[in-house]
Amino acid sequence: MALNSKVPKGPIKDKWTTYKDKINLVNPANKRLIDVIVVGTGLAGGSAAATLAELGYNVKAFCYQDSPRRAHSIAAQGGINAAKNYQGDGDSTYRLFYDTVKGGDYRSREANVYRLAEVSANIIDQCVAQGVPFARDYGGLLDNRSFGGVLVSRTFYAKGQTGQQLLLGAYSAMNRQIARGKIEMFNRHEMLDVVKIDGKARGIIARNLITGEIERHSAHAVVIASGGYGNVYFLSTNAMGSNATAAWKIHKKGAYFANPCYTQIHPTCIPRSGDYQSKLTLMSESLRNDGRIWVPKHMDDVIAIREGKKKPTDLSEDERDYYLERRYPAFGNLVPRDVASRAAKERCDAGYGVNATGEAVYLDFASAIQRYGKEQAKIHNIENPSAQKIYDLGKAIVEAKYGNLFQMYEKIVDENPYETPMMIYPATHYTMGGVWVDYNLMTTVDGLYCIGEANFSDHGANRLGASALMQGLADGYFVLPYTIGDYLANEIRTGQIPTDTPEFDEAEKEVKDRIDFFINNEGEHSVDYYHKKLGQIMWDKCGMARNEQGLKEAMSEIKALREDFWKNVKVPGNANEMNPELEKAGRVADFLELGELFAKDALNRNESCGGHFREESVELDGEQKGEAKRNDEAFTYVAAWEYKGEPADAVLHKEELEFNDIELKQRSYK
Amino acid sequence: MSDKGMNLTLRIWRQKDSNSKGQMVDYKVTEISEHMSFLEMMDVLNEQLIAQGEEPVAFDHDCREGICGMCSMYINGEAHGPDRGVTTCQLHMRMFNDGDTITIEPFRAAAFPVIKDLVVDRTSFDRIQHAGGYISVNTSGNTQDANALPISKHAADEAMDAATCIGCGACVATCKNSSAMLFVGAKVSQYALLPQGQVEAADRVKNMVAQMDLEGFGNCTNTGACEIECPKGISLENIARMNRELMKASVS
Amino acid sequence: MGGFFKSSIGRKVAMALSAFFLMVFLLQHFAINLLSVFNPDVFNEVSHFMGTNPMVQFALQPVLIFGVVFHFIMGFVLEIKNKKAQGVAYVKNNGAANSSWMSRNMIWSGAAILAFIVLHFIDFWIPEINTKYIQGDWSGTLEGVEGFRYYEELTHKFVSPIRVGAYVLAFIFLALHLLHGFTSAFQSVGATAGRKKTLQSIGKAYSIIIPLGFIFIALYHHFNH
């Protein structure tokens, strides 16, 4: 099947407006006859469910958590971008579009990104109307922050809990529709398969996680908004329950999976402390504005620190290697996420990691405290301030800016980051890849849509900070509700879709068989045992730097692990009850397939772009020596994979990317 | 503490499902690192139980960074355990000592029935929100410009402080009356402090309080325990504000 | 407004309003009693006025009785409702970690005060009603006593060390009840914004000074007669 992105014709700035004007609509009376299923209730799913219900469709929303308010969008800290230009610093729709395409290393679809930038301003208006308490200045107007990779201040925020506030806004919009009876909410339900009838998505099979009951739900269209697949690494900043099952199931039923190898590994996370580690915690990117990243210059200092014989503060300036400042004098500690992450890995691989696991670097605020302290002494006209006075003044400023993050760090690590440098290490954070969708956000299956992090479309090979929230809400509030009408306009005569059909029988049987297998399998290893092993393979061979040999090994190791899983996995308890181990088993089974496709995609993409770094594809000489090298001639395409049984047999379909409005350039941070 | 880690006795509430009777069961865990989070310690226990062919302990958890509000354990007589300003997932084992017996129970309230072991049903919170926890605005794409309505920084900050509630239910669990007033007060306050929410303010507070009562939450007797145990430090002032709002709504 | 007092918040507002009334009454009662220490004659005059003035007897006294009865009944009703809201009790509950003993035991300090009020009624109120309404003696005098009888009756009651002990104990419970109840009542009517610290200080002073004063009066009369 040839991929048709269905991007409308015409100049980029008119595409969406013109398209919306001409799109098919469903009249209000007919909307009452149409059911839509939304799986996942984060920013994308929650906003979509609410908006579709406002329009008049009957929405059935599903989430595995006990309430839609707990979806992992809630954990986003920094902010949300929007081209409002409230600061008058030259921002515009075009500039946001340009920054996003460039930040994505020219691997995203221009028309989608432009539309995202175009509706970004509406998101802020909508959220404010909903009562989202964004930060404001003393004049009562909205405040902005600046984020990495851009030259303007366009990030709106609510303390360090922007994701939480936006999600609670979407949740409140859902609540209003639940109260009106337009959304039927299914908490603690997990979608385990999609049901296709005559090639169209017509419903899902879901498991009630409290009773274990397998349920059939039909609809005229199905929307998947189940988030990313970062937990394929076991350790990530994702929630424990974040999973790829919905996305993977639809892939197996015909939806192509695009660019699985594009993963964002975030540079500033709290390092692992031991084998028991269950997840990793992100420390906001904003810390890099004032923190300096370093490791010791000499190996004997590294060893002394690990053995506790020396403290990092004992090392003099010339015994420290501020490697980002050394390698990237222009951007220093503020290089983009992918570059900062790889540089940390490079130092730790060379043996300079500063904690017991050898996977940690320092993020040091001592010079920021000094700098702010001296500045404050000057402002307050303090002559000859003592060292202590300077420290106190500087600490107060750092505390005002990052106090809550420092406190969080201290709770977890039990070290005071004002007195000793923080330890950080990169961790999997976001997946740019996902289910392939066209301009309408429809997958390669009719009537099956995919929005938010679960799809692939807007961030290319690397996502800019504060853009995930923007995309989730753009898809849910302002894009899908229009584009889905175009499809549903043809469904007004379909009538209620029965669930007692052979297609539902078959899908339900498949789901039940799999559950029965898990419950009855007399294996010896827990689900986590396999998940951790998979995570290790992914981290070692599909992590921040990848090469042909490693990727090939990863493919065969994952395949072997999967085969062992299906023989030896042990799931306690029963099917007809709440059974968290059973839930995990199903999710890990899917990760064990996705991981292999991930490696296959990474192997196929023999170039370095954004979060995907191939060791074979680096600049060999000149100023950029050793840096990532994109190959635009061979790889300016979206790799969309079609399921054919084994992940290794997946068939590649290419969507060539055309850049008419932006010139492709090499990213340089030297 | 030795490098070997701690040996602990865990006294945990086990209950098969909502219809069964539950009881406390003792388990031993060994070599627990002080750097583990409390839930990682529970993971260790569960791996041990699976290996022994026993059913692991069911507990709610998700983000494990203190924001989703899913985790909900009553540890040694306190919601989210002995530390302050943290959820269970942020509680670390360094708060305990080698040889300790740790009592772990589900959040208790008639309006939070136990589903299994330490997992409770908090959908009563959702239903209170359905009753009025929103501002009635459609997604039209032509809402007025966000800066058309200036809001004082003071009001915005105060609304934000109320809005940081994560809906975990620690306030209810810790309240001797199982009152949900801190939770409801926080939501009522967020909208009461913002100009956008004024049009439906009276109906909102009346409907939310009525739903709260219907769910079977108790009365507030102002012990202040909720504020102390709240992982996000939501202030009691929000309850006072809700009381005022309801009085205002009832007189007008 | 009708629905208001049926709601949980309405009930706690009602509790608070009756508490305000009782606290004002207590202040007034204390002021009159204190007169007995400084000037028995004035004490007698005021007592006679309070005991015979129709406004006090037929308007304020029923309101007071209603206030007391309401506060108690509502207190018990809410306690029962709250117990029901609690469901299964915790095996281990560390209430001391997050709240004061006083706030958690209002029902017990309240019950102790109720027991005291019963004693108090037997001591003063019932004889008073008997004298005035059954025997029809509105003179306020007693055979063998010069002037009004009130001071004499008061001092007579504080002869028994057991009764004085009971009074002292009851006022300790009253202090405990007030230590939480005073600020709690203000919080219930939503009147704490920005005044929390001041209210807490006034509350503490009131809760300690008034009961201590009553104890002082009882002891004073016990040791001086």
Cβ(A133)–Cβ(B153) below 8 Å: no
CA distance C110 to chain B (A): 13
Q: Can you give the pLDDT at residue B1?
A: 42
pLDDT band at A1 (very low <50, low <70, confident <90, very high): low
User: What does pTM read for this prediction?
Assistant: 0.96
Q: What residues have CB less than 8 Å from A179, skipping those under 6 apart? A: B130, B131
In whole angstroms, give the CA distance from residue C192 to residue C144: 54
* A571 Cα distance to chain centroid: 29
Burial of C187-204, coded b for 16+ CB within 10 Å and e otherwise, reads: bbbbebeeebeebeeebe
Give the mean pLDDT of A559-572. Answer: 98
Find the DSSP H helices in A299-418: 299-306, 323-327, 337-349, 366-379, 387-413
**How many Cβ atoms from other residues are within 10 Å of residue B80's Cβ?**
28
Tokens of A273: 């402390």
- Residue C79: alpha-carbon gap to chain centroid: 19
- Kind and range of the H or E run holding A37: strand A35-39
Give the model confidence (pLDDT) of A49-60 as tens digits.
999 999 999 999
**Which range, of A636-650, B231-245, C194-208, averages the lowest pLDDT?**
C194-208
Three-class secondary structure of residue A666 per DSSP = coil
Residue A207 lies in a domain: yes
> Considering Cα of B110, then B116, then B120, then B123, what sign does the dihedral take?
negative
* Residue A422 and residue A437 share a domain: no
Give the whole-angstrom CA distance, residue A325 versus residue A347.
Answer: 13
Q: What is the DSSP string of A135-194?
A: -B-TTSSBP-B--TT-SS--EE-STT-HHHHHHHHHHHHHHHHHHTTSEEEETTEEEEEE
C128: part of which helix (H) or strand (E)?
helix C126-129
Residue C1 has pLDDT above 60, yes or no: no
A216-235 pLDDT per residue, tens: 999 999 999 999 999 999 99
A279 touches chain B (CB under 8 A): yes
- Exposed/middle/buried for B3, CB within 10 Å: 0-12, 13-18, 19+? exposed
CA B11/CA B197 separation, integer angstroms: 46
The residues with which B13 forms a beta bridge, in sequence order, are B24
List pLDDT tens digits, range B37-85.
999 999 999 999 999 999 999 999 999 999 999 999 999 999 999 999 9
State whether A382 and A402 are in the same domain.
yes
| pLDDT surpasses 50 at A489 | yes
- Structural domain of A211: 12-262+432-491
Residue C147 has phi, psi (to 5 degrees) of 70, -150
Statement to judge: residues A231 and A245 lie in one domain: yes
Give the confidence band of A150 by pLDDT, cuts at 50, 70, 90. confident
Q: What is the DSSP letter of A210?
A: T
- Which pLDDT score is estimated for C192? 72
Do A291 and A258 lie in one domain? The reply is no
pLDDT above 50 (res A25): yes
Q: What is the DSSP letter of C218?
A: H
Q: What is the pLDDT of residues A358-393, one digit of tens each?
A: 999 999 999 999 999 999 999 999 999 999 999 999
Q: Which of A68, A69, A62 is nearest to A190 (CA)?
A: A62
Average pLDDT over residues B176-200: 96
- Mean pLDDT across chain B, nearest whole number? 96
Q: Assess whether A454 and A340 both reside in one domain.
A: no
Determine phi and psi for B63, rounding to 5 degrees: -70, -30
Residues A390 and A253 in one domain: no
The burial class, CB within 10 Å (0-12 / 13-18 / 19+), for A140 is middle
| Sequence-separated (6 or more) residues with CB below 8 Å from residue A219 | A35, A36, A37, A60, A202, A203, A204, A497
Å between B249 CA and nearest CA of chain C: 9
- pLDDT at A284 (0 to 100): 85
CATH number of residue A158's parent domain: 3.50.50.60
Chain A residue numbers touching B47 (CB-CB < 8 A): 526, 528
pLDDT > 70: percent of chain A = 100
Query: Taking Cα atoms as reference points, which of A623, A545, A593, A580 lies closest to residue A245?
Result: A593
Answer whether C142 touches B (CB < 8 Å): no
Buried-state track C41-72, b at ≥16 Cβ within 10 A, e below 16:
eebbbbbbebbeeeeeeeeebeeeeebbebbb
pLDDT surpasses 80 at A33:
yes
Rounded Cα distance between B129 and A173, Å, is: 10
Q: Name residues whose C-beta falls within 8 Å of residue B10's C-beta, 6 or more positions apart in sequence.
A: B26, B27, B28, B29, B45, B101, B102, B104
Cβ-Cβ contacts under 8 Å, B78 against chain C: 94, 97-98
């050394």: which residue's tokens? A326
Q: CA of B131: which chain A residue's CA is closest?
A: A179
Q: What's the pLDDT band for C224 if we cut at 50, 70, 90?
A: confident
Is the pLDDT at A107 greater than 50? The verdict is yes
Instruction: Give the separation between CA A226 and CA A62, rounded to whole angstroms.
Output: 10
Q: What angle do CA A506, A511, A517 make, to 5 degrees?
A: 125
Please, which residues bridge with residue B114 across strands?
B120
CB contact under 8 A, B240 and C191: yes
Per-residue tokens: B71: 């985790």
Question: Is A645 at the interface with chain B, CB within 8 A?
Answer: no
How wide is the angle at C-alpha A666 spanned by C-alphas A661 and A670, nearest 5°? 135
Q: What pLDDT is recorded for position C139?
A: 86
- pLDDT score of A149: 67
Binning pLDDT at 50, 70 and 90, where does residue B2 land?
A: very low
Same domain, A403 and A473: no
Looking at residue A84, the DSSP 8-state letter turns out to be -
Mean pLDDT, range A413-421, rounded to an integer:
94
Q: Do A75 and B55 touch (CB under 8 A)?
A: no
**What average pLDDT is seen over chain A?**
95
Q: Are residues A286 and A404 in the same domain?
A: yes
Q: Report the pLDDT averaged over residues C184-200.
A: 85
| Sequence ranges of the domains in chain C | 4-82+104-224
Q: What percent of chain A has pLDDT over 90?
A: 89
> Does the pLDDT at position A650 exceed 80?
yes
The CATH number of B123-136+151-251, from 1.10.1060.10, 3.40.50.2300, 3.90.79.10, 2.60.210.10, is 1.10.1060.10
Tokens at residue C137, please? 């003696």
Buried b (16+ CB within 10 A) or exposed e, A588-599: bbbbbbbbbbbb
Q: What is the fold, at CATH topology level, of the domain defined by B6-116?
A: Ubiquitin-like (UB roll) (3.10.20)
Question: Cβ of A67 under 8 Å from any chain B Cβ?
Answer: yes
Which amino acid, A238?
Answer: N
Q: Report the domain count for chain A.
A: 3
Q: What is the pLDDT of residue B141?
A: 82
CA–CA gap between residue A416 and residue A423 (Å, rounded): 11
pLDDT in tens, C52-81: 999 999 999 999 999 999 999 999 999 999
pLDDT band at A609, cuts 50/70/90? very high
Task: Please give the full DSSP string across A525-543, using - where no structure is assigned.
Answer: B-HHHHHHHHHHHHHHHSS
Domain match, A274 and A236 both: no
The answer to whether residue A160 scores a pLDDT higher than 90 is no
Domain with CATH 3.10.20.30 in chain B: 6-116
Tokens at C34, concatenated: 């204190």
Query: In the complex, which subunits touch A with 3 or more CB pairs below 8 angstroms?
Result: B
- Contact at 8 Å (CB) between A640 and A652? yes
Nearest alpha-carbon partner for B136 in A476, A73, A479, A54: A54
Q: Which residue among C9, C106, C187 places its CB closest to the CB of B246?
A: C9
**Does the CB of C197 have a partner CB in chain B at under 8 Å?**
no
Reply yes or no on whether the pLDDT at C15 is more than 80.
yes
> A349 and A371 in one domain?
yes
Residue of B nearest to C83 (CA): B177
Give Cβ neighbours of residue A577 (< 8 Å, ≥ 6 apart): A211, A212, B16, B17, B116
Q: Tell me: the pLDDT tens digits for B7-35? A: 999 999 999 999 999 999 999 999 999 99
Count CA atoms within 13 Å of residue B68 on its CB side: 29
Can you give the C-alpha Rg of chain B in angstroms? Answer: 21
Least confident of A264-273, A317-326, B2-11, B185-194: B2-11
Domain identity same for A422 and A436: no
**For chain B, where do the domains classified as CATH 1.10.1060.10 start and end?**
123-136+151-251
- Give contacts of A 153-182 with B, CB under 8 A: 158-159, 161, 164-165, 168, 171-173, 175-176, 178-179
Q: A597 in a domain, yes or no? A: yes
Local confidence band at A75 (pLDDT 50, 70, 90 cut-offs): very high
